[in-house]
Amino acid sequence: MRSIWNGAISFGLVSIPIKLMNATESHSISFRQIHTEDSGRIRYRKVCELEDREVSQAEIGKAYEDADGTIIPISDEDLSHLPLPTARTIEIVAFVPADRIDPLQMDAAYYLAASGAPAAKPYTLLREALKRSNKVAIAKYALRGRERLGMLRVVGDAIAMHGLLWPDEVRAPEGVAPDDDVTVRDKELDLADALMDTLGEVDLEDLHDEYREALEEVITAKAAGETPPEAPEPAEGGKVLDLMAALENSVRAARESRGGRPATEETEEAEVRPLTRRRSAPKETGGKKSTATTAKKAPAKKTADSKKSTAKTTRSAKKSTPARTTSEPPADSASRSTARTTTETTTETTTETTAKTTAKSASKEATSAKQTAKKSPAKKTASRKRSA
């Protein structure tokens, strides 16, 4: 790094020769002013208004303009003889805890490098003293035509200096806060805390200048004769009037962006419970009674066609009808289980045929009989299969 100032650090009787180097750099993209018709550069020329001619840099000096417009020339020799002990010295005046420094006072940052071998020992002494004390050094120095205030602290194995604004250069925040009386509820503070916890911390190394990157893409595309990339459509968002809703939505969005699931999804998933089949006898009994009741009602309203259809029913179907209303135990062998299954299937078909031929006035009862007849045999069959 190139040094921009040479001097010494002074605290007490100790003097440390140092070089001042910029600790920061700007990556912003700068533009030139051009004539839009022919892309010619627009330059600012330094012209003497008395002679009306352009002058070189060697002919340019400094001067102070008084309130009445009087020009008072000041030469570099005048500045070199300023009656200041900080002309070429960073003079440490105090050591204070770091939290005593208001971040509003922070200005440019510099690295202080030891200048030569004789500076190594006192430089290391000052660095280790700052480390052990957990304090920062407050210093005064002169740079670029004015005396400044600085703060020295340890960064790695180096000493860094932050330029500080003078206390009277920091404005008081008068008239900045809202004048209205606003009450914040505890629930709103809880949601704000939840949002802060969800966002968590961030590694500053992961942050980058997206505006500069987008600008570089535009410049690259224009240089290659291509169409610059289109800007993404802004997200449509209505005006949120409810602070609680805004906080809740912010917490939900933050959780999703961090890879978590929304709170609503977690709640829904937590309420899911597997259903188990019950083998209780009352359901079977109820089904039998319903079937028997339907069977009693349906034959009373049969038409001539339904009587013919019933007459054509097989003998095995007639035998199976009373078996449905009894509570005899299941068969012990696989053959009886198979026979009962066949019989119940035939019975189901018979009941469906009877229900379809029921008169229009009893259509609701026939539909109920059909549904009951479908469900009841299936339950008995499954129960008898398990018993077998």
For the segment 249-274, the average pLDDT, to the nearest whole number, is 58
What's the pLDDT score for residue 241?
A: 56
What's the pLDDT score for residue 158?
A: 95
Dump pLDDT digits (tens) for 200-258: 787 888 888 888 888 888 899 889 888 888 877 766 655 555 777 877 888 888 887 76
In this predicted structure, which of 33-42, 90-99, 199-208, 268-277 has the lowest mean pLDDT?
Answer: 268-277
- Judged against a pLDDT cut of 80, whether residue 274 lies above it is answered with no
φ/ψ of 232, rounded to 5, equals -65, 150
Q: What is the CA 326 to chain-centroid distance, rounded?
A: 67
pLDDT band at 271, cuts 50/70/90?
very low
Distance CA 373, CA 290 (A): 9
Claim: this prediction has a pTM higher than 0.75: no
Mean pLDDT score of the chain, rounded to an integer?
A: 73
Distance CA 10, CA 89 (A): 7
- Judged against a pLDDT cut of 90, whether residue 84 lies above it is answered with no
Alpha helices by DSSP H, the chain: 76-80, 120-133, 186-199, 210-223, 243-257, 263-270, 281-300, 304-311, 315-325, 334-356, 363-387
Distance CA 236, CA 253 (A): 15
Dump pLDDT digits (tens) for 4-15: 888 888 888 888
Q: Tell me the two tokens of residue 1.
A: 């790094």
